[in-house]
């Protein structure tokens, strides 16, 4: 009797072990042959903007590298939260990715009281595509045309200097609040529903300043309809080499650039993350890709997922302090 039970137990153990090994083998095989079907890249914004355009371009280039179609799907809503949450809750197999930018990943957690995901725990960085160079531009007839003049006048009693951005809690808005915090300037935010109308108003002198992406301001600067005050990147923009940085303009250690990258669900296997990162870096090292991103005001930044994670953690803390000090909230 006991012998029969032991034999049955051993038989069941062998069966379960065989099933476990088969499952493990299937998983390893799936990862080793990745990708063997089309990949979805969710863009959590409406079509047509710089984020969407850059995402589609990178998706096309990456699909050529890996030999699989990358289907871009727009899932806008809640400043990127809807699309990001959709990917965070998807199967962590590398076949559903999201195009994430700093607004969604490091700003939204501080301004939304009901976040549908934890952006640093529910998503895993694949790699940063690049940094969006931001620029402060001025109406050419405004009394202040340098950064130091603008800061000085904003501090004068009875003086109000407005600046426009693409909306409340946008990276541009947060960057100027950071400037106010760091320099004591008192620039007042005028939010727009998108950057288009802000650019129209600053050219007409309705508002004196707009903080925006270089790509959107470039043609107006070159035509003389706007004055380029300074870029807030680490170094000068290659498309506007004559325009100084904020640091060159006297604001020590001030760097505020937007960024865009690719993320996967948190439990995506390391082998898949490494593979996608390697191929993304190869794409971002191409002269053709570098030149194309440059026209969109994006500086290509190939690097490791670990380095990207560290940068995200720094931005999350830094912007959180600014948002709390300025008491910025979004409508949920």
Residue 11: partners with Cβ closer than 8 Å, 6 or more residues away: none
Length of the chain in residues, anyone? 332
Could you tell me which residue, 25 or 280, shows the higher pLDDT? 280
**pTM score of the predicted model:** 0.82
Which range (3-7, 86-90, 170-174) has the least confidence? 3-7
Other CB atoms within 10 Å distance of the CB of residue 227: 20
Question: Which whole number is the average pLDDT over 293-302?
Answer: 91
pLDDT value of residue 19? 52
Is the pLDDT score of 10 beyond 60?
Answer: no
Q: Using a pLDDT cut of 70, give the percent of the chain over it.
A: 90
pLDDT value of residue 32? 59
3-state class (DSSP) for residue 227: strand
Nearest alpha carbon to residue 133 among 28, 272, 3, 243: 243
**β-strand partners of 27:** none
pLDDT value of residue 332? 45
Other CB atoms within 10 Å distance of the CB of residue 143: 12
Residue 69: partners with Cβ closer than 8 Å, 6 or more residues away: 38, 39, 63
Q: How far apart are CA 112 and CA 331, in angstroms?
A: 7
**Cα of 104 vs its chain's centroid, Å:** 7
Question: Which whole number is the average pLDDT over 9-20?
Answer: 54
Confidence of residue 5 (pLDDT cuts 50, 70, 90): very low
Question: Which whole number is the average pLDDT over 121-141?
Answer: 96
Concatenating the DSSP letter of every residue in 171-196 gives HHHHHHHHHHHHH---EEEEE-SSHH
Question: Which helix (H) or strand (E) segment is 263 a member of?
Answer: strand 258-265
Confidence of residue 4 (pLDDT cuts 50, 70, 90): low
**CATH topology match: 38-132+258-326 vs 134-231:** yes
- CATH no., domain 134-231: 3.40.190.10
pLDDT value of residue 194? 75
Q: How far apart are CA 226 and CA 275, in angstroms?
A: 44
Residue 283: partners with Cβ closer than 8 Å, 6 or more residues away: 58, 61, 62, 65, 289
- CATH no., domain 38-132+258-326: 3.40.190.150
How wide is the angle at C-alpha 224 spanned by C-alphas 221 and 225, nearest 5°?
80
Domain ranges of the chain: 38-132+258-326, 134-231
Residue 320 Cα distances to 107, 128, 154, 177, 220, angstroms:
7, 21, 24, 11, 33
Dihedral angle, C-alpha 108, 113, 116, 119, nearest 10 °: 40
Question: Which helix (H) or strand (E) segment is 131 a member of?
Answer: strand 123-132
User: Which tens digits make up the pLDDT trace of 316-325?
Assistant: 999 999 999 9
First-to-final CA distance of the chain:
67
Is the pLDDT score of 16 beyond 70?
Answer: no
pLDDT value of residue 14? 60
pLDDT value of residue 287? 96
Confidence of residue 215 (pLDDT cuts 50, 70, 90): confident
Is the pLDDT score of 29 beyond 60?
Answer: no
pLDDT value of residue 28? 45
pLDDT value of residue 329? 84
pLDDT value of residue 242? 96
Ramachandran assignment for 250, one of left (phi > 0), alpha (psi -120 to 50 degrees), beta (any other): left
Q: How far apart are CA 299 and CA 67, in angstroms?
A: 25
User: Which tens digits make up the pLDDT trace of 157-175?
Assistant: 999 999 999 888 888 999 9
Is the pLDDT score of 192 beyond 50?
Answer: yes
pLDDT value of residue 167? 86
Other CB atoms within 10 Å distance of the CB of residue 48: 9
Identity of the highest mean pLDDT range in 10-24, 108-122, 316-330: 108-122
pLDDT value of residue 306? 97
Which range (72-76, 241-245, 295-299) has the least confidence? 295-299
């Amino acid at each position: 009797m006991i012998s029969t039970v032991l034999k049955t137990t051993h038989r069941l153990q062998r069966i379960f072990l065989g099933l476990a090994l088969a499952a493990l083998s299937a998983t390893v095989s799936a990862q080793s042959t990745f990708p063997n079907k089309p990949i979805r890249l969710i863009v959590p914004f409406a079509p047509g903007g710089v984020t969407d355009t850059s995402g589609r371009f990178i998706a096309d280039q990456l699909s050529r590298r890996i030999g699989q179609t990358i289907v871009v799907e727009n899932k806008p809503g809640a400043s990127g939260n809807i699309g990001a949450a959709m990917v965070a809750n998807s199967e962590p197999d590398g076949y559903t990715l999201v195009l994430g930018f700093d607004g969604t990943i490091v700003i939204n957690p501080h301004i939304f009281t009901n976040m549908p995901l934890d952006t640093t725990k529910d998503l895993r960085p694949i790699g940063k595509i690049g940094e969006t160079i931001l620029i402060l531009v001025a109406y050419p007839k405004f009394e202040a045309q340098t950064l130091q003049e603008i800061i000085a006048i904003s501090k004068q009693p009875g003086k109000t200097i407005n600046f426009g951005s693409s909306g409340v809690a946008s990276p541009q808005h947060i960057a100027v609040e950071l400037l106010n915090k760091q320099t004591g300037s008192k620039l007042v935010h005028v939010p727009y529903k998108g950057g288009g109308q802000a650019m129209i108003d600053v050219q007409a002198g309705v508002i004196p300043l707009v903080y925006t992406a270089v790509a959107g301001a470039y043609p107006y600067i070159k035509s003389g309809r706007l004055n380029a005050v300074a870029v807030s990147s680490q170094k000068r923009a290659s498309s506007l080499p004559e325009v100084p940085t904020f640091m060159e303009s006297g604001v020590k250690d001030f760097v505020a650039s937007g960024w865009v990258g690719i993320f996967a669900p948190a439990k995506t296997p390391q082998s898949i993350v490494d593979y996608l990162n390697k191929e993304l870096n190869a794409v971002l090292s191409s002269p053709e890709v570098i030149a194309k991103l440059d026209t969109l005001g994006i500086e290509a930044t190939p690097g490791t997922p670990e380095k990207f994670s560290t940068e995200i953690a720094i931005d999350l803390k830094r912007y959180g302090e600014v948002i709390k000090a300025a008491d910025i909230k979004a409508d949920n």
